[in-house]
């Protein structure tokens, strides 16, 4: 399955990069977030591949969900897809946008891939193993290495959202004391913690499950955790929520510690 994820992420990334260089119009969805043809074409590539290979596993994808298309029954396993995470970064011609694909099983992100096509960075996670890889100009994976979280450094390195920071996040970071702050877009924040390049990623802004699932899978495979503010593991497949829409996440902390 992870091999298919890699194939689809690379194909979707190539489609995104073609549009990145050519340029495209930017539209606004009902929630005012931006969307482009790159989001839609990437999602088409990924969904076609997943549905052909695994017709019995439901797919939840960002752009289909925005159009009101979602599986009636998720079952015990389903795919979560964000075809272009960091559309704001893409539109601004920054490099930290990603393709995200994850398998959720019993509410837990079990397998995931995060691919940043502009920089050639690729991260994967499956139970017990997380890897980082580089993708060459030919679109093929050039090298791989195993990654793991590090023991918390002093001072800590904290990753924060580039385009979605909030006063609550700033207050939380201030409460941690001396720290180095790294601002980056998309699910690469999870991957920096997973690769031992940062210690904590606090998120006090709005996210949806497709924003976090793949990066969360990589982090958990690398030995880290993603928890709600109450300390429980972040769960996936949340529907019929009393105070929010389907697949919306609560605030969370992703970090390198496993002693939750």
Whether the Cβ atoms of residue 10 and residue 115 lie closer than 8 Å to each other = yes
Residues 163, 60, 102: CA angle, nearest 5 degrees? 70
Q: Is 82 annotated to bind ligand?
A: yes
223 is in an annotated binding site: no
| 224 neighbors 189 (Cβ within 8 angstroms) | no
Residue 138's contacts (CB-CB under 8 Å, 6 or more residues apart) are none
180 appears as a binding residue in the annotation: no
Identify whether the C-beta of residue 24 lies closer than 8 Å to the C-beta of residue 35. no
- Is residue 84 annotated as involved in ligand binding? yes
Tokens, residue 123: 């991260």
Main-chain dihedrals φ then ψ at residue 180, nearest 5 degrees: -95, 130
Q: Is 128 marked within a binding site?
A: no
Q: Is the dihedral angle over the CA atoms 31, 37, 42, 45 positive or is it negative?
A: positive
Residue 106 assigned ligand-binding role: no
Residue length, the chain?
A: 260
244 labeled part of a ligand binding site: no
Known binding positions for Mg(2+): 62, 82, 84-85, 211
Known binding positions: 62, 82, 84-87, 211
Known binding positions for substrate: 62, 84-87, 211
């Amino acid at each position: 399955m992870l091999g298919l994820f890699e194939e689809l992420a690379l194909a979707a990334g190539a489609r995104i990069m073609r549009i990145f260089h050519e340029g495209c119009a930017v539209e606004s969805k009902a929630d005012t977030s931006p969307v482009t043809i790159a989001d839609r074409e990437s999602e088409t590539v990924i969904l076609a591949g997943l549905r052909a290979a695994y017709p019995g596993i439901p797919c939840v994808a960002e752009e289909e969900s925005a159009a009101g298309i979602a599986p009636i029954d998720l079952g015990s396993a389903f795919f979560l897809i964000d075809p272009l995470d960091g559309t704001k970064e893409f539109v601004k011609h920054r490099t930290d946008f990603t393709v995200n694909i994850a398998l959720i099983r019993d509410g837990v992100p079990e397998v995931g891939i995060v691919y940043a096509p502009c920089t050639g960075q690729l991260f994967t996670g499956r139970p017990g193993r997380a890897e980082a890889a580089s993708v060459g100009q030919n679109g093929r994976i050039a090298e791989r290495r195993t990654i793991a979280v590090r023991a918390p450094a002093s001072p800590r390195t904290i990753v924060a959202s580039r385009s979605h920071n909030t006063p609550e996040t700033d207050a939380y970071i201030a409460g941690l004391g001396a720290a180095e702050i790294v601002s980056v877009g998309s699910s690469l924040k999870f991957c920096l913690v997973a690769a031992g390049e940062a210690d904590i990623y606090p998120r006090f802004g709005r996210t949806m499950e497709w924003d976090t699932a793949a990066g969360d899978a990589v982090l958990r495979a690398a030995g880290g955790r993603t928890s709600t503010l109450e300390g429980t593991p972040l769960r996936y497949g949340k529907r019929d929520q009393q105070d929010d829409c389907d697949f919306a996440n609560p605030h969370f902390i992703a970090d390198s510690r496993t002693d939750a």
